[in-house]
A = this chain, B = another copy of it.
Amino acid sequence: VASVYDVAKLAEVSAATASRVLSGSTYPVREATRQRVLRAAAELDFQPNRLARALVTARTNTLGAIVHDIADPYFAEIARGLEDAARADGYQVFVCSSDRDAERELAYVRSLLAYRVDALVLTGGGIEDRAYRAELERLLGGLRERGGQAVMLAPQRVRGPSVLPDNQGGAALMTRHLLALGHRRIGLVGGPRHIRTSAVRLAGHRAALAEAGVDFDASLLAPGDFTVAGGAHAAAELLARHPDVTALFAANDVMAFGVLGELRERSIAVPADVSVAGFDDVAMAAHVSVPLTTVRVPMYRLGWEGAKLALGYLAGRRPRSRVLATEVVERASTGPPRPR
């Protein structure tokens, strides 16, 4: 753990000079001197302490990303794009999953600000709550004051630069597609009521219906929570209320997966009996066809235990390494070989 001083000493220059060449400053340094510093740094395997640097430059080269759930393929994919772009510019990113909980989200934002992230990326739809919004606005104000930025990747009432998918337009497109196929009774598996994205996608749906002169029946809307289980549950509700629906449109793909599952359980053929539409086109949407027999690895627990292990060590304890059992989960994709 060599410091600039060590490098400076070895290169027989001052710390300032060493810093000038090592920090990538444009400050002029004689080539010979530069080489000596570089050599010394290599020799000592010098790695600048980014914290110290950040303390003086007031720039950390870090980004904070608030996602609703990094395990949701939608956010995972966003996080990957974020990370790659950040890396290309020498930035590291902190990922934070809020589960759409206002308290947790604010706590994360405060923490990220304490770590002096240079920018914040709010990837999920805004939470509709006055107190939350006010506090968030206040925190982001502090960020901006010190030259930082917050950007939104989903509809938020909070102001700031954004990159948004055309949620309303997309929903309208899909609804038009369903209408064109001849559907008139379309059940809507919506997003959570307190998330702004839900309202925006719903608005697109309603607009397309209005345009076609089909009137909107509120009982054809069942709010979900953007999870598979939520989608299945909403589908069940809708089917109970309206056995005559011919199509179900889910506000995100993950819920659509739940819808498909629910339909299969009821032996309702897709699309012969009921059509199903999703939103997002997450990678898996295109690629699966039969429930898979597989080996279950407890991934969540693996991550959890991994952190516990690390933290245990940091706390001075010596927790032991472990092996977690795996097991076969039998589903529809396996059976006896075809007799010949």
Contact = CB atoms under 8 A, between A and B. Distances in A.
A169 B297 CA distance: 11
A148 B83 CA distance: 24
Interface string A23-65: 0000000000000000000000001111110110001101100
B94 A164 contact: no
Interface string A60-90: 1011000001111110111111111111010
Contact of A322 (B84, B163, B301): B163
A153 interface: yes
Interface stretch (A4-12, A188-196, A234-242, A283-291): A283-291
Contacts of A286: 261, 291-292, 329, 331
A211 interface: no
A326 interface: yes
A218 interface: no
A236 to B, nearest CB: 15
Interface in A283-340: 283-311, 313-314, 319-338
Contact of A321 (B163, B308, B323, B330): B163
B79 A303 contact: yes
Nearest to A253: B294
Interface string A234-262: 00000000000011000001001110110
Given A47-B114, A116-B51, A322-B163, A310 B151 contact: yes
Interface stretch (A13-21, A126-134, A173-181): A173-181
Contacts of A173: 295, 326-328
Given A295-B171, A306-B121, A328-B177, A95 B81 contact: no
A215 interface: no
A70 to B, nearest CB: 5
Interface string A89-120: 10111111100000000000011111110111
A290 B289 contact: yes
A283 B178 CA distance: 28
Given A177-B293, A272-B338, A286-B292, 20 more contacts: A63-B310, A78-B300, A81-B301, A83-B96, A85-B303, A89-B307, A118-B314, A119-B313, A121-B310, A162-B309, A164-B323, A170-B326, A174-B295, A256-B294, A270-B290, A279-B294, A279-B295, A280-B295, A280-B297, A284-B284
22 contacts: A49-B55, A51-B60, A71-B73, A71-B76, A72-B76, A82-B303, A86-B307, A92-B96, A92-B111, A119-B313, A123-B303, A151-B309, A171-B295, A182-B337, A260-B288, A260-B290, A270-B290, A271-B333, A275-B293, A278-B295, A285-B291, A289-B291
Interface of A: 1, 47-52, 54-55, 59-60, 62-63, 69-74, 76-87, 89, 91-97, 110-116, 118-121, 123, 142, 145-149, 151, 153, 161-167, 169-171, 173-174, 177-178, 181-183, 228, 246-247, 253, 256-258, 260-261, 264, 270-273, 275-311, 313-314, 319-338
